[in-house]
Structure 1
Amino acid sequence: MSDALAPPAPAGSAVLPRLLPFVAAVFLGFLAIGLPLSVLPLHVHDALGFGAVLVGVVVGLQSVATVLTRRHAGILSDTRGPKRAVLTGLAASALAGVCYGLSLLMPGGSIGALAAILCGRVVLGFGESLFMTGALSWAIATVGPRNAGKVMSWNGIAMYSAIAAGAPAGLAIQEAGGFGALALAASLAPLAGLAVAAMVPAVPVPGGVRMPFTAVIGLVLRPGLGLALGSAGFAVLATFAPLLFAARGWDGAGLALTAFGVAYIAVRLVAGGLPDRLGGKRVAAGSLAVEAVGHLIVWQASSPTMAVAGAAVIGLGFSLVLPALGVEAVKRVPAQNRGVALAAFVAFFDLSIAFGAPVAGGLVGSWGYPAVFLAAAGAALLSVLVTATDRHS
Structure 2
Amino acid sequence: MSSSRPAHGHATAAAPPVNVMLRLLPLTLAVFIGFLSIGLPLPVLPLHLSRHLGLGALGVGVVIGSQFAAALLSRAWAGTLADTGGAKRAVVWGLLMAAGSGAVYLMSLAFGTSMSAVWVLLLGRLLLGCAESLIVTGALGWGVGTVGPQNAGKVMAWVGIAMYGAYAAGAPAGVWVDARWGFTGIAIGTALMPLVALGIVLGLRGMAPAAHRRTPFYKVLGAVWVPGLGLALSSVGFGVITTFSALLFAAKGWGPASMAFTAFGLAFIGARLFFGHLPDKLGGARVALACVLVEVVGQLLIWGAADAAMACVGAALTGFGYSLAFPAFGVEAVRRAPPQARGVAMGAYVAFLDISLGITGPAAGWIAADAGVGSVYLAGAVTVALSLAVALHLRLRPHAPTLA
Using the size of structure 1 for normalisation, the TM-score is: 0.83
Deviation at 1:300, TM superposition (A): 6.3
Task: Tell me which residue corresponds to 2:274.
Answer: 270
1:312-352: CA deviations, max 9, x gaps? 33333222000111111112112221111111111111221
Q: Which shifted more, 10-19 or 319-328?
A: 10-19
Deviation at 1:253, TM superposition (A): 8.6
* Matched residue SS, 1:25: helix
Is 1:148 matched with 2:152? yes
Deviation at 1:113, TM superposition (A): 5.2
Q: Which of these residues, 198, 220, 223, is aligned with residue 219 of structure 1?
A: 223
Question: 1-side partners of 2:64 and 2:216: how far apart?
Answer: 32
1:273-332: CA deviations, max 9, x gaps? 111111111111121133234445556667776555444333332220001111111121
**Correspondence list, 1:310-389, <5 A:** 310-356=314-360, 358-359=362-363, 373-389=377-393
Deviation at 1:220, TM superposition (A): 0.6
Contact kept, 8 Å, 1:85 with 1:130, in 2: the verdict is: yes
For structure 1, the 5+ residue unaligned runs are: 1-9
Contact kept, 8 Å, 1:205 with 1:336, in 2: the verdict is: no
- Which residue identity is paired with 2:105? Y
Task: Tell me which residue corresponds to 2:89.
Answer: 84
User: RMSD between aligned alpha carbons?
Assistant: 3.4
Contact kept, 8 Å, 1:222 with 1:387, in 2: the verdict is: no
Deviation at 1:365, TM superposition (A): 8.4
Q: 1:377 to 1:33 in 2, by over 3 A?
A: closer
Using the size of structure 2 for normalisation, the TM-score is: 0.81
Contact kept, 8 Å, 2:65 with 2:359, in 1: the verdict is: no
Q: 1:342 to 1:50 in 2, by over 3 A?
A: same
- Which residue identity is paired with 2:82? S
Is 1:124 matched with 2:128? yes
Contact kept, 8 Å, 2:71 with 2:133, in 1: the verdict is: yes
Question: 2-side partners of 1:286 and 1:83: how far apart?
Answer: 35
- Which residue identity is paired with 2:276? G
Task: Tell me which residue corresponds to 2:193.
Answer: 189
Question: 1-side partners of 2:137 and 2:235: how far apart?
Answer: 18
Is 1:30 matched with 2:35? yes
Identical-pair percentage = 49
- Alignment size in residue pairs: 381
Question: 1-side partners of 2:152 and 2:320: how far apart?
Answer: 20
**Correspondence list, 1:292-311, <5 A:** 292-296=296-300, 308-311=312-315
Question: 2-side partners of 1:110 and 1:64: how far apart?
Answer: 24
Is 1:100 matched with 2:95? no
Q: Which shifted more, 219-228 or 197-206?
A: 197-206
Question: 2-side partners of 1:381 and 1:370: how far apart?
Answer: 18
Task: Tell me which residue corresponds to 2:24.
Answer: 19
Task: Tell me which residue corresponds to 2:166.
Answer: 162
Q: Which shifted more, 303-312 or 154-163?
A: 303-312
Question: 2-side partners of 1:81 and 1:68: how far apart?
Answer: 20
- Which residue identity is paired with 2:69? V
Contact kept, 8 Å, 1:93 with 1:187, in 2: the verdict is: yes
1:347-371: CA deviations, max 9, x gaps? 1112212323554566678987776
Deviation at 1:134, TM superposition (A): 0.4
Q: 1:61 to 1:292 in 2, by over 3 A?
A: closer
